[in-house]
Structure 1
Amino acid sequence: MNPGFKFFLAVIVSLEISLTTSLPTNLIIIGVAVVYLLFNHVKIKNLLLTLLLPLVATTTIFATLYWFTPEPNLQNALCLASRIYVYTLTIYCVFIGTTTTEFARCFEQNFHLPSKFAYGILAALNLVPQMKQAIKKVQTAAMMRGVYLSFWSPTLYFKAILIALNSAENLAQAMESHGYVEDEPRTTIVAIPIKISDWIYSGIILLFVNLALLTFN
């Protein structure tokens, strides 16, 4: 499915779940999302970690609505708590098997995202590993002088800002040297079209979600 369609589909489903209280629908979406992730050969370790991380937030919501309220409602507490897993798993389904480059290209080609934002996001993400390596070099150089720069050290952040500014200038020059001109039409190396199947699958999924909300609400 088109990456943009998957993203907007997850947003629409999340909004509908937020506006209703249907525990069976939440459980159905969670179950379908888990099956989809397993079908896409996600690692069991990553899936278990995804299910474990929201547990604190889920437990907090459940405890607040059930244990610390004058009139506890078990179904309402479970419904609101299960929404956390709906949001987490649907977003995981959106990004599974799709790279950041594909998302940027999709939004630029299909949803008219300005190219400067698309390329800017990709450039920032691709610079992250280089920034980490540069910060390690700064810390190593400081340790050789007998100075320890901790994670919260202002000096380290100041040097990191200088490195980022220098990297941004080099990146801008590199893009200009490769022929990038802002607000000018550009050809596409890899086209990401919107297919009829994207509309069909999205419509079917929304239809089943709304039928479940009407049935179990």
Structure 2
Amino acid sequence: MNTSKLNPGFKGLTIFLISLILSFEYNYYVNISVFLICLILMLLSKVSIKRLCISFLPVIIMALGVFFTGYFYGNESATTDITDMTKIVVVMESAESGLQLAARILAYAGLGFLFVYTTDPRMFILSLMQQFRLSEKFAYGIMAAYNFIPIVKNEYRNITYAYRARGVKKNLFMLPMLVTAIRSSENIAMAMESKGFQVGAKRSQYRKLETKIIDYILVVLLPLITLYIVRVY
């Protein structure tokens, strides 16, 4: 199933509900299952394997660090008189505690990357505005802030080259970038005003996002399946 073709708003709601269920559950079987399912869905959605490896590398390092921390220090004070049998029990409890924390990190990272790598941010904002009645004032504000990122990036590169050409060693980036941001925001405001933008006015949409039956099914079915797995384990 290619999750890139799902409605972004309903997909975000589904992932949020699953994350909420996992927040009350400490079973590492469930967390590892969710992580593997997210990994399979990203591969089916044609997410680059190289991109996944680079993204999950710090997550895996963090999970291993948490696991060994729980393994060596999780239940250090569980018993005072450690015999051979009690030592085995303490080691097993410590390993399970570390595995639970590490699996939770992997599960949440898998859900987060599944949403980020299979969702267009602009389509997500449009979905929130069309299907979930997000105020246009906030929606267009978020989209304007998102579109500022490449502008700031290009401006930073241009200022860097300008300083190098002039032989300036002390780089004062904040003032020129602040001026650029103010000018860009004024241009956007004038453009929206010239197009007749008004908060609360009835508007047509250049791109209308559709909601399919599969979106409604998944937003109900997947959290129920997660609850069922939690009950079983």
* Higher mean displacement: 15-24 or 99-108: 15-24
Assess if the C-alpha contact under 8 Å between 1:139 and 1:148 holds in 2.
no
Q: After TM superposition, list the pairs within 5 Å mapping 1:7-156 onto structure 2.
A: 7-69=12-74, 70=76, 71=78, 72-150=93-171, 155-156=172-173
Q: Deviations over 1:32-60 (max 9, x none)?
A: 11111111111110111222121232123
- How far apart in 2 are the matches of 1:142 and 1:87? 42
Task: Write the letter of the residue equivalent to 1:185.
Answer: K
Q: Deviations over 1:13-36 (max 9, x none)?
A: 112112111111111111111111
- TM (normalized to structure 1)? 0.89
- How far apart in 1 are the matches of 2:163 and 2:56? 40
- How far apart in 2 are the matches of 1:199 and 1:190? 21
Cα distance, 1:63 vs structure 2: 2.8
Alignment-derived partner of residue 212 in structure 1? 229
SS class of match (2:67): helix
Alignment-derived partner of residue 196 in structure 2? 179
Identity among equivalent positions (%) equals 28
Task: Write the letter of the residue equivalent to 2:149.
Answer: V
- How far apart in 2 are the matches of 1:163 and 1:28? 47
Assess if the C-alpha contact under 8 Å between 2:31 and 2:104 holds in 1.
yes
- Between structure 1 and structure 2, the one with the greater Rg is 2
Among candidates 183, 198, 217, match of residue 166 of structure 1 = 183
Q: Which runs of 4+ in 1 moved over 4 A?
A: none
Give the length in aligned residue pairs. 212
Task: Write the letter of the residue equivalent to 2:203.
Answer: R
- How far apart in 2 are the matches of 1:142 and 1:95? 35
* Higher mean displacement: 37-46 or 124-133: 124-133
Q: CA RMSD in A?
A: 1.7
* Higher mean displacement: 51-60 or 113-122: 51-60
- TM (normalized to structure 2)? 0.84
Assess if the C-alpha contact under 8 Å between 1:21 and 1:76 holds in 2.
no
